[in-house]
Amino acid sequence: MPLRAGLRSDRPNHPDEPTASATMPDERSESPIDAHDCDDNDLEHLPQEKRIQLAVAACQANVMSQRRAATYYRVPRTTVQDRANGILTRTEAHAHERHLTQAQEDVLAEWIKSLGKRGIPLSLPTIGSYAADIYGAPLGATWAVRFKKRRPDLKVKWTSGLEECRARALNRPVVHDYFTLLAETIEQYDIQPKNIWNMDEKGIQLGVGDRIRALVDRDQKVVQKIESGNRDLVTIIECINGVGGALHPSVVFQGQRRDLRWGENNPCHASISISPNGWTDQELGSLWMVKDFAPASAEYLDDPGDYRLLILDGHNSHCTFRFNDFAQVEP
């Protein structure tokens, strides 16, 4: 049943109160639903700001009075009246106090949602760091908190631990949804198997894991070798496509300065970089995308406009604005 029927009142008119037919002639010929194509379900799922805008538009088009529009769209009448009189929203009134424009904040919010749905949720400090990159200068420590308050479409939630996530992911619905999304993405962008890539990282502690034959007590069932904890860590990045093609590996050594000997005896032409702890950090992850993956995988394209799909995990080195922005710009 149309919502309009639910707005009827059985209360008799006061003798001095004008009737609806005398004050709102336009409403006789055109219902709010016909004018704005909204039903109960539409209104229920619309955010309040959108409903306020529709109410103001209905008043300006002389479709409804302010009182009627406020009732129909379920918003405060005083708000409709203020907007119709040109009073700015709170967001618009304080826009000059913000560091990012409304358009920039909208783009940032959509990016946050996109990463969250891909299993890469961002903390408030991380979001503040990305906003500072957009702004071009450091922002206050509370900027992300204020940004969150301005965005009713975003919500702070606790993330799950890695092992818990892995356990939850190993079930039929989640696996089915993943491969459904994968198939839809491949079909939508017409991605060939040779342009579907999987990247992963492997950390290796130098000198650890070598097995030796040892002479021990006959009754000793488990033979363990104590390893030194002061071992250098090396990270190797591999990337293989759907037909078995492999890009040259990337090796990240632990150190402050590069040792020229690391490049000797390099038959696979691995790219070499360094980090203080031997892990890939956010900067190295972005450099790998730009310097290694993009040019090397482009050689497999039949046409420069063809799409490539890179499948990877949610490591924080893949969460930088530069990494994801480059991936969206490149085919």
Give pLDDT tens digits for 51-67: 888 999 999 998 899 89
Phi, psi dihedrals of residue 39, rounded to the nearest 5°: -120, -175
For the stretch 180-204, pLDDT in tens is 999 999 999 999 999 999 998 877 6
Length of the chain in residues, anyone?
Answer: 331
pLDDT higher than threshold 50 for residue 177: yes
Query: Quick one: average pLDDT of 162-184?
Result: 77
pLDDT given for residue 32 in this prediction: 44
Q: Model pTM greater than 0.75?
A: no
With a cut of 90, say whether residue 302 has pLDDT above it. yes
Q: Is the separation of the CB atoms in 58 and 64 below 8 Å?
A: yes
pLDDT, tens digit (0-9, with 9 covering 90-100), for 249-284: 988 877 667 666 766 777 788 887 776 655 555 566
Distance CA 317, CA 169 (A): 22
Between 10 and 57, residue with greater pLDDT: 57
H or E, element range at 233: strand 233-241
Instruction: Answer yes or no: is pLDDT of 1 > 50.
Output: no
Average pLDDT over residues 70-99: 78
DSSP states along 277-325: SSS--HHHHHHIIIIIIHHHHHTT-SSTT---EEE----GGG-SHHHHH
Mean pLDDT of the chain: 73
Q: How do residues 214-240 score in pLDDT, each as one tens digit?
A: 444 455 455 444 444 444 577 888 999
CA angle 319, 324, 330 (to 5 degrees): 155
Query: What is the four-CA torsion angle of 49, 50, 53, 54, rounded to 10 degrees?
Result: -140
Q: What is the mean pLDDT of residues 173-183?
A: 88
Q: Are 122 and 116 in contact (CB under 8 A)?
A: yes
